[in-house]
Structure 1
Amino acid sequence: MRSSDTPGRHVLFLNWRDTGNPEGGGSEVYVERVAAELVSRGHRVTVLCAAYPGAAGEELTGSGVRLLRRGGRHTVYLRAAVAWLAGWLGLGAVARRPYGMPDLVVDVGNGLPFLCPLYTRRPVIALVHHVHREQWPVVLGARAARIGWWIESRLAVRVYRRCRYVTVSSATRDELAGLGVDPARVTVIHNGTPELVGRPAPRATEPTLIVLGRLVPHKRVELALRAVAELAPRFPTIRLVVAGQGWWEERLRQVAGELGIAGRVRFTGYVTDTDKHALLSSAWLALTPSLKEGWGLTIVEAGAAGTPAVAFRSAGGVAEAIRDGVTGLLAADEDDFVARVGELLADDVRRLAMGEAARAHAATFTWPVAGARFAGLVTVLAGEPVPAPATARLAP
C-alpha cells in the first residue's frame, strides 16, 4: 500500500481492448492486473478502450478500475484524442467526476500506439509488449503492413522520444533499442502469473497437447496441427486441445480436416478460468507456436499447472518465459518444433521433471511485484515537469 504522505494519482491507460472483449488477450490481462495493483496502492485508474457489442460504455470493475469504452476496433484511437481534448474544456469522459483529469497517461501500443504525446502535456509512459515487425505482413496486406511498420518503427519512436517506456521482457527492450530507443529509458516489468482457479484435473492418460490463446493468424496454431499430424504414427492416441476463440477458427478447422486429424483436435471456444486450469493441468505439453510474444503469459500459466511448454526461440519474450531445457524447450524452426514436441512426449521422466521446474519458475512472477514496480514509476513520473506537446517537437 502507498505511504500516507504519498498522494494518490489518477492514471489513464489508453488500450486497444479490455479483457471482456472477445479479442482480448495477454496485453489486456497485463493492463488490468497492473491497474488493479495501482488501485490497491491508493491510485485512481481509468482504462479507455474500444467498445464492443453487449458491453457497457462505462463500468467499474471489482478491483476498482474504471473502464470507459469508446469507439470501435479502429476508431478508439481517434475517440481517445477527442475525449482528452474535450476534457480540457471539462466536457469529456476522461474529465468526468469522480476522478478528474489524469495525472499520468499510459499509452499501450499494440502495434498501433495512441500517439498521445501529440495532444497531452501530462507525463506519458509508452507500454510496449513487443515489436510487431514480423506480424504486420501476416495481419495486413503488403501495403498496409508497410504503413503500420513505419508508424511503429519510425513515427512512434520520434513521438515518444522523451517518454519513459515499460515493456514486459528484456527481448522487447533489445528490439526497441534496435529502433533507436535508449535502453536506459526502458523499464522491464514482467507479467505476474495468474492465479489458478478450481481444482486441477488429473493428467491425461493419452498424449495430450494444448494451445491456449486467441485464434488469429499470427498465433500460428497451424503448426500445432502439423505437429499432431506428423507425430500421430509414433503416438497413435495423440490429441490436441485448442482452447480459445477468434475469427481464424474456421480456417483452423479446415486445416485439421486437410491434415486428416479432425478427430484428434478439440476446439473448446471460450474457456472459463476454472476450465482453463483443468485443461492445462491435464495436458502433457503446452504449445506456443506464436510468431511473436512480448512475454508468453500462457506459458507461465501452463507452468503453474505443472505443464512444460514448447515454443520458438525467435518469438521474443517466450525465451524468458521458458528456461530452455529446464521448464520447456525452444525450437529453432518448424521442423525442430515438431521434433521437440515428439522428444518430450517420448520421455516421461524428463517431461515430468520439467513440469515441476515450470511450476517453481511460474511462482517467481507475481502481480504485486509488477504493480509495485509500476507504482514506483507513477510516483516519480507524475511529479516531473512535462515538455511541450510532441506537435511542437516534430516541427522541422
Structure 2
Amino acid sequence: MTGLERTAARPHVLLLNWRDTTHPDGGGSERYLERMAEGLAGRGYRVTIRCAAHPGAPAEEWRAGVRIRRRGGRYGVYPRALLAIPAERPDVIVDVQNGVPFFSRLLARCPVLVLVHHVHREQWRPVLGERLGRLGWWIESRLAPRFYRGCRYVTVSETSRSELATLGIARERSTVIPPGLDPAPRTHAEPDEDPMLVVVGRLVPHKRVEHAIDVLARLSDQWPKLRLEVVGQGWWHDHVRRHAQLRGVEDRVVLHGWVDEQDKHEILARSTLHLCPSVKEGWGISIMEAAAHGVPSIAYRAAGGVADSIVDGSTGLLAADFEDLVAHVDRLLTDREEHHRMGTAGRTRAETLGWDRAIDAFEQAITDALRQ
C-alpha cells in the first residue's frame, strides 16, 4: 500500500528547514518554503515545519494552517529535527538542504524530497574559513549526493538544476519550481528625481553589499547626487556601515535595517536601479519585486539563479565582474530610454508570476513522492 493510499484524506508533509521567516536571518528561501507550506495546508494537507528556535519566538505556533515547531539553535536544529521524525510520523519529508541537509533518510520511513535553492560552492570558505569550509563543501558536493541517491530534488532555477547535475544529481531526478510573486501593494512613492540605487537582502558577507557601496563611490564624480539605500538586517551591519565610511560615502548611504512590506515597496518604487551583488542566489525574489515597480536589476552573471530571474538585456543586466557592474550602472543611469524599456519589460514579466502556479508544481512533486 502506498503512502498516498494509506493517508489519502490528509497526508502529513514534514518540512525540515534551518530557519523560518521570523528568524533574524530569515530571507527569501524561508519565504519560499512557507508559501509552499501554506499552499499545501490550504489544499487539505497536514503540514509541519521543523526549524531552529530563536529569541522571542514561541517553541510552537500555528500560522496559516501550518504547524511550526522550533527546536535547537544554529546547529542544534539538525539533530533535534532528525530525532523528531519518528514522533511526527510523516507521509513525506521535504529536507531543505541549505548547504547541509538534515540527513532525514536515517530515520525516515517515507519518501524524502530534497529542496535545494542553490549550490554553495563559493560561500563555504568565506563564511566558515579554510578548514570548515572544505568540510562543508565535501558534505554538500560528495556526501549528500550519495546519501540521497535515488531521492528526487526540487530547485528554483534552471541554473541551480545544472549545478546539481555537476554534483551527480541527474537532471531527470530534479524539478525546477521558481518562486511566485505576491502582487505589489499600492504605493504612494514616485521615482526620485535624483538617481537612487537600492539593495534588498540580509546583511551577511556573501550578499556583498560592499560592492554596491563601491559602485556608488566609483560613480560619485559622474553622478554627484547618486545615493544608495539598503533594506535588510544582519550581523554584518557594522561592517557594511564602516565600509561606507572608509569609502567616504556614508552621507549618501542609508541602512534601513528591517522594514515592513509596505515600506519596502515604497523604497523600491522610488528607486532607479536595484543591485544584487551576491556571490550566489537561487533565484532572487527581490529582483522580481523590483521589476514589479518597473525597476531594472543588475547582478553578477556567475551568481547562479539571477541568470534566470533577470532576462539579460531585456529586464536587466548581468555583469561579468565588478568593472562590468560599474559600467552597467552608469549605462542605465545615462540611457533613460533603455532604462524605461527594461523597466516596462520587467513589470510585464513580474505580472506573470503567481504563487498558485508554483504551489501547483510543488503539490505535484509531493504527489509524485507519495506514489513511490
Structure 2 length-normalised TM: 0.97
- The match for 1:80 is 81
1:195-226 superposed Cα distances (whole Å, 9 cap, x missing partner): 32342410011000000000000001110000
Task: Find the partner of 2:121 among 108, 129, 133.
Answer: 133
> Retained in 2: the 8 A contact 1:228–1:239?
yes
For the residue of structure 1 that corresponds to 2:84, the secondary structure is helix
Shift of residue 358, structure 1, vs aligned partner: 0.6
For the residue of structure 2 that corresponds to 1:141, the secondary structure is helix
For the residue of structure 2 that corresponds to 1:68, the secondary structure is strand
1:135-174 alignment to 2 at 5 Å? 135-174=123-162
Paired positions, count: 366
1:253-264 alignment to 2 at 5 Å? 253-264=241-252
Counterparts of 1:259 and 1:194 in 2: how far apart (Å)? 36
Alignment of 1:10 onto 2:17? no
Counterparts of 1:200 and 1:373 in 2: how far apart (Å)? 35
Shift of residue 8, structure 1, vs aligned partner: 2.9
For the residue of structure 2 that corresponds to 1:140, the secondary structure is helix
> Retained in 2: the 8 A contact 1:200–1:305?
no
Alignment of 1:340 onto 2:328? yes
Counterparts of 1:275 and 1:77 in 2: how far apart (Å)? 34
Shift of residue 137, structure 1, vs aligned partner: 1.1
The alignment's C-alpha RMSD in Å is 1.1
Over the matched positions of the two proteins, sequence identity in percent amounts to: 52
Counterparts of 2:188 and 2:79 in 1: how far apart (Å)? 44
Alignment of 1:306 onto 2:308? no
- The match for 1:226 is 214
> Retained in 1: the 8 A contact 2:187–2:269?
no
AA partner of residue 145 (structure 1): G
Shift of residue 7, structure 1, vs aligned partner: 2.9
Counterparts of 2:120 and 2:97 in 1: how far apart (Å)? 10
- The match for 1:387 is none
Uncovered stretches (5+) of structure 2, i.e. residues with no partner: 1-6
- The match for 1:39 is 41
Counterparts of 1:375 and 1:42 in 2: how far apart (Å)? 11
1:110-167 superposed Cα distances (whole Å, 9 cap, x missing partner): 1111111122121000000000000001111100000000100011001111101000
- The match for 2:68 is 67
Uncovered stretches (5+) of structure 1, i.e. residues with no partner: 88-93, 95-100, 385-396
Counterparts of 1:198 and 1:19 in 2: how far apart (Å)? 23
AA partner of residue 180 (structure 1): G
Counterparts of 2:13 and 2:283 in 1: how far apart (Å)? 24
- The match for 1:58 is 60
> Retained in 1: the 8 A contact 2:82–2:103?
no
1:314-393 alignment to 2 at 5 Å? 314-384=302-372
Counterparts of 1:347 and 1:9 in 2: how far apart (Å)? 54
> Retained in 1: the 8 A contact 2:219–2:330?
yes
Which stretch of structure 1 is more off in the superposition, 112-121 or 284-293? 112-121
Shift of residue 380, structure 1, vs aligned partner: 2.2
AA partner of residue 214 (structure 1): R
Counterparts of 1:152 and 1:82 in 2: how far apart (Å)? 21
